[in-house]
Amino acid sequence: MGIFSNLFGSKKEVPIASILPQQIYEAGILELKDIIAPSALKVSPKELNLGEKIARTFFVISYPRFLSDSWFAPIINLDKVFNISIFIHPVDTAKALRTFQKKVAEVQSQINVREEKGLVRDPMLDTAYRDLEQLRDNLQQAQEKLFDVGVYITIYGDSAGELDKTESEIKSVLESKLVYLKPALFQQEQGYKSILPIATDELNVHSKLNSSPLSSLFPFVSFDLTSDKGILYGINRHNSSLVLFDRFLLENYNSVTFAKAGSGKSYAVKLEILRTLMFETEVIVIDPEKEYEYMSEAVGGRYFNISLTSEHHINPFDLPIPREDESASDVLRSNIVNLVGLFRIMMGGLTQEEDAIIDRAITETYALKDITAESDFKSVEPPLLSDFELVLAGMEGGESLVQKLSKYTKGTWSGFINRPSNVDINKKFVVFSLRDMEDELKPVAMYIVTHYIWNAIRKNLKKRLLVIDEAWWMMKSDDTASFLLGLAKRGRKYYLGLATITQDVDDFLKSPYGLPIITNSSIQILLKQSPSSMDILQKTFNLTDEEKYLLLESDIGEGIFFVGLKHVAIKVIASYTEDQIITTNPEQVLAIKRAKDELANQ
């Protein structure tokens, strides 16, 4: 094994390169250390060449007078490849006390000599005397113990330049805390052995620390991302601490969740909803896949199935009652603008001339029902889509628009929006299901439902959470995407949190409104991702390569949780009872359904 045998302590110093594999096998000299050893090793005064990697070892040589809690955390959490070893050798207290007696006497003697000579008191000597006296008292009273502590750090890189950069970064972090490192010059071999997981301290560079400063090194700390109040989002995979947050205590109340299908995104959001309901918060969900029906039954919520044949209807011409800080003219004008956006989606786009015709026709439709900027919206009867069609038919240039509109008023889609509203969302938990709505109409339906919810939210100020699942449907149109961004920006004023969930990351981020929605969300959750969307997510969230691979290899319910500039790896967990209410696993859902049917038949 040549030089490598000296490093790892092999008893057989045989030049392995000159022995054939068959001969090695027959001789029985191949050991575990031979298998895990690098192909080549070069020891130099400043570093080690381990095959294709270069390693450089340092030791801590000096500490400040006081060490604050978690002072080592920035190093532990550094996004670099490195190893750390901490060796703690207890010092016999009786022996330490004898040494302290001599040291205290020496310092006292120096102070007395200066006094006899009439010199000014030396603050450093006075401080040292007080510290020694205090530590001696603590040792005598068994309140503290003394240790020889060695802290060694080995960094790795592909080149000397990369090592220099990492060394500079680590030194700058520690020196800002008055902790100083030295390279293990001409001791790189001993330093490397000292950081291997074999508990051998061959470097033997120690500093004396008592229990209090030593405790600041332990436990190995990683980023905690939690607050004093809120709900449990999951477990911090770095250190198993709890990730607790109340979105309504953050700068805005919004969140975004990105994940591939089947990775647990709806499960995580449903878990948040279930826990949020316990904190006097109303929750409204737009559900494109009928995943929240059982949950609404379990918590006594209200479930509306929006489809062409549904008994639940929403009239887009409904007008909200103005708030105290709003005028009727402002509300009417805002609703007309929203309706123009709706017709733009329904008709597959409008020219500037058609846009103007639609705008004028909406105003005249409201006037037909005696609704103007001076009206009292509490007592008015809003028009229907068929009323708008009649007005449009009598306007010059409206013929082609009437033809496009006819399928919503007379055709197969007439049962959808050409009816008075009959939904009441005065419940703590409300779900609008759009699963049975045709795909072509889903963007229209989501636009109408979100506007109806928004009008209801503006009417009464309450703490609410609006969850939009599969939000990529709303990103298909600039009007729906723009409205979603408006909710994200304006929701805080109305005590509204917006939770946006999507699996189609590309569609979401290709929209010009996608990134602003993310930046207007205090909480961002990334669960398991598909390779096709990973590059755009890495760029958007400034992920490292390690975080990228973490998302690609995560299990269900695992990912990265962002709050502001901080983020941690998270694992979503639920109790058995919670799991039975929120599960989306088809096998579990069928089992629950069978159990319910059996109970009903008994």
Q: What value does the mean pLDDT take over residues 245-257? A: 90
Residue 10 has pLDDT above 80, yes or no: no
Maximum alpha-carbon separation in the chain: 112
Least trusted range by pLDDT, from 126-135, 368-377, 450-459, 574-583: 126-135
* Range with the largest mean pLDDT of 26-40, 106-120, 314-328: 314-328
Is residue 49 domain-shared with residue 106, that is, in the same domain? yes
Q: What are the pLDDT digits (tens) for 286-295?
A: 988 888 888 8
Residue 8 has pLDDT above 50, yes or no: no
Residue 7 has pLDDT above 60, yes or no: no
Is residue 363 domain-shared with residue 291, that is, in the same domain? no
Report yes or no on 77 lying in a domain.
yes
Residue 26 confidence (pLDDT): 60
- Mean residue pLDDT of the chain comes to 83
Is residue 156 domain-shared with residue 199, that is, in the same domain? yes
What one-character DSSP code corresponds to residue 544? -
What one-character DSSP code corresponds to residue 221? P
Report yes or no on 578 lying in a domain.
no
Q: What are the pLDDT digits (tens) for 523-559?
A: 999 998 888 888 888 888 888 887 888 888 888 889 9
Residue 17 confidence (pLDDT): 46
Pairing of strands 523-527, 566-571: unpaired
Report yes or no on 319 lying in a domain.
yes
Residue 229 has pLDDT above 50, yes or no: yes
Report yes or no on 587 lying in a domain.
no
Domain span at residue 211 reads 38-215
Report yes or no on 596 lying in a domain.
no
Report yes or no on 493 lying in a domain.
yes
Is residue 68 domain-shared with residue 197, that is, in the same domain? yes
Residue 60 has pLDDT above 90, yes or no: yes
Q: What value does the mean pLDDT take over residues 87-112? A: 78
Residue 28 confidence (pLDDT): 59
Q: Which long-range contacts (CB under 8 A, 24 or more apart) does 335-343 make?
A: 336/362, 336/363, 336/366, 338/451, 338/483, 341/447, 341/479, 341/480, 341/482, 341/483, 342/316, 342/444, 342/447, 342/448, 342/451, 342/479, 343/405
Domain boundary pick from 377, 392, 420: 420
Is residue 159 domain-shared with residue 203, that is, in the same domain? yes
Domain boundary pick from 377, 402, 420: 420
**Three-point CA angle 385, 389, 391, nearest 5°:** 115
Is residue 81 domain-shared with residue 210, that is, in the same domain? yes
Residue 6 confidence (pLDDT): 37
What is the number of structural domains in the chain?
4
Residue 23 confidence (pLDDT): 61
Is residue 193 domain-shared with residue 67, that is, in the same domain? yes
Quote the tokens at residue 39.
């192909």
Residue 224 confidence (pLDDT): 65
Residue 391 has pLDDT above 50, yes or no: yes
Is residue 381 domain-shared with residue 470, that is, in the same domain? no
The runs of H, that is alpha helices, within 141-288 are 160-175, 188-195, 211-215, 265-276
| Residue 374, domain CATH | 1.10.8.730
Is residue 483 domain-shared with residue 550, that is, in the same domain? yes
Is residue 118 domain-shared with residue 194, that is, in the same domain? yes
User: Looking at per-residue confidence, does 103 or 498 come out higher?
Assistant: 498
Is residue 302 domain-shared with residue 433, that is, in the same domain? yes
Report yes or no on 584 lying in a domain.
no
Residue 33 confidence (pLDDT): 72
Strands (E), 361-414: none
Is residue 488 domain-shared with residue 563, that is, in the same domain? yes
Report yes or no on 220 lying in a domain.
no
Residue 552 confidence (pLDDT): 87
State how far the Cα of 600 lies from the Cα of 305, in Å rounded to an integer. 23
